[in-house]
Amino acid sequence: MRRQKEGEFDKFINWIEHLKNASNEGKLILVQGKRDKDKLAGFGIKSNAIEFFTKPEERFIEKITDLGKECILLFNVDKSSEKLAERVKTELRQQGVKVNTRFRKFLYVMEVKEVRALLPYLEKHLATSWRDRSELVLPRIFKAGASQKELKKRLKTE
């Protein structure tokens, strides 16, 4: 069981690192809400590389198209979000924007329904390997600041 958790933890670390690298390469990350954007920024992903969905949908599509970048669609994975993600993906592709959905598939694999639920998921399901490796791993995945301090505090009290 412990090895399985470590394997899942390593997969998560790699996922975050790949997402960071993609944002550093200029790819735009599209999320559904401001809280999703804030959570990803808390993992050290540049906040200017993250856009959250705004209505009306047409203006959002136009804004992303005008930026002319490849984007990563990282909407939530519930039923209503699935329909929205499909519409946004189709519209962007029709406008010539390359849309990457590979990162979103990871949410299905990890059984996380929302981007903002990533940290609680890690605390709940991967806490054992986290405690053992917190000093080595936390600086890699979290930017310096309140998020890291808060997490270290939680790990010490559990």
- Of 120 and 102, the structure prediction assigns the larger pLDDT to 102
Of the segments 6-10, 94-98, 108-112, 153-157, which one has the largest average pLDDT value?
94-98
Contacts made by residues 89-92, CB under 8 angstroms, sequence distance 24+: 91/57, 91/61, 92/61, 92/64, 92/65
pTM of the predicted protein model: 0.77
Residue ranges per structural domain of the chain: 2-157
Tokens of 141: 């995945």
- Of 44 and 18, the structure prediction assigns the larger pLDDT to 18
Q: What pLDDT is recorded for position 6?
A: 56
3.40.50.1220, 3.30.465.10, 3.40.1360.10, 3.40.109.10: which CATH number matches 2-157?
Answer: 3.40.1360.10
Average pLDDT over residues 89-109: 94
Lowest mean pLDDT across 6-15, 36-45, 50-59: 6-15
Lowest mean pLDDT across 88-97, 108-117, 141-150: 141-150
Does pLDDT of 132 surpass 70? no
